[in-house]
Amino acid sequence: MRVYLDNAATTAIDEQVLQEMMVVMRDDYGNPSSIHADGRKVRTIIEKARKKVAALLNTSPAEIFFTSGGTEADNTAIRRGILDHQLSHAISSPLEHHAVLHTLQELEKEGSIKLTLLDVDAKGHVDLSQLERVLQNSPPSFVSLMHANNEIGTITDIQRVSDICQTYNALFHTDTVQTMGHFVHDLSALKVSFLAGAAHKFHGPKGAGFLYVNHEVKIKPFIHGGAQERNMRGGTENVYGIVGLAKALEIAYEHMAEHRAYIQGLKDYMRAQLIQHIPGVSFNGELEADQSLYTVLNVSFPPTDLADMLLFNLDIAGISASGGSACSSGSNIGSHVLTAIGVDAKRPSVRFSFSKFNTKEEIDFVVSKLKEVCPENV
């Protein structure tokens, strides 16, 4: 038996998504930039996908730009937002995905900005009162805060962040890669400058993402070349990926309530089983359902000098999950997120992340294997 509990890294593609992509891949191979009938047909397919994504997010198709994924979307928003608007200050948190954190740090090294990282508490909540204080005493700034953390699942109130940023005339970029397709995003109500998403986090294909750019915010292209994406992203479009992204998001929105209830049930069940069967287990991040990503459970196991072996042992036992040791030993850098919230480096931490395809039987199997391989029982 093989159990996949690494859905925060990537999800299995939905069969309906695959079938829709296959039709386009087989029949509609024209270049969307070509002016002949084959090209025009494919251009229409892309624009239909754009309209579908925009409708689901309650925004204009003109504000949706397709990318190669979340990393490109984040990089585009950050670099172009800061440089094109001549901003000298950026605010973020130490818990951001490296697509955000490393980009901001690189801009600081280049001398383009001063970077302020906000304080976080032991559960991974960002100090939004500090955000307001910093903005009060700063020049116009660029703020980048993710909706939900990819490692510990803690949710940031991006509506409150948006309100604060509007008050102080700051550009606000949010990485919603982990929550897109799992939570409703209404971009007519949520006033953000930029928002990033990636299809493979909600059962779409890898290599396809999008960037929402508020129509009031003007930026230059990040990737130069042709006139694709309304002159905003050079390069022939990933047509099949775009089609798959739109279909996956449509399915996610159609079944969101039932999938959320089901996956939250799996998360709660696994947490209860771990408490019952693994002495000394603890959990990282926020656990309150309304403040936590229901697809992610970050678990710390009893202290051991063999922390790096737990993931290896799980893999051998047939379980796919992700690491998150706060320590840096040997060639292992460890998790910057767990380090920032003060997780004990001696406690091996594992991120289990769930999808609609997981079952309680799989959870039982994982817990039974953990009883065999966790440090307390080695």
Domains of the chain: 15-254 (3.40.640.10), 255-377 (3.90.1150.10)
Mean pLDDT of 214-225: 96
User: 174 and 142 in contact (C-beta within 8 Å)?
Assistant: no
Confidence of residue 376 (pLDDT cuts 50, 70, 90): low
pLDDT the model gives residue 304 = 74
**In angstroms, rounded to a whole number, what is the distance separating the alpha carbons of residues 233 and 255?**
32
Predicted confidence (pLDDT) at residue 182 exceeds the cutoff of 90: yes
In the DSSP assignment, the letter for residue 352 is: E
**In angstroms, rounded to a whole number, what is the distance separating the alpha carbons of residues 222 and 83?**
11
Q: What is the CA radius of gyration of the chain?
A: 21
Measured N-to-C along each axis, helices 360-373 and 309-316 cross at an angle, to the nearest 10 degrees, of 130
Say how many Å lie between the first and final Cα of the chain, rounded. Answer: 22
What is the tens place of the pLDDT at every residue in 346-370? 889 999 999 999 999 999 999 999 9
Predicted confidence (pLDDT) at residue 328 exceeds the cutoff of 60: no
pLDDT the model gives residue 373 = 84
327 is catalytic: yes
Q: How far is CA 83 from CA 86, 102, 166, in A?
A: 5, 16, 20
Signed CA dihedral, 214, 220, 225, 231: sign only: positive
Predicted confidence (pLDDT) at residue 324 exceeds the cutoff of 80: no
Catalytic residue among 327, 337, 341, 343: 327
In the DSSP assignment, the letter for residue 183 is: B
pLDDT the model gives residue 329 = 38
pLDDT the model gives residue 70 = 98
Mean pLDDT of 115-125: 98
Q: Which of 124, 170, 167, 195 is nearest to 343 (CA)?
A: 124
Instruction: Tell me the percentage of the chain whose pLDDT exceeds 90.
Output: 91
Residues 6+ apart with CB under 8 A from 254: none
pLDDT the model gives residue 364 = 98
What is the tens place of the pLDDT at every residue in 12-58? 999 999 999 999 999 999 999 999 999 999 999 999 999 999 999 99
Q: What is the pTM of this model?
A: 0.95
Signed CA dihedral, 9, 15, 17, 19: sign only: positive
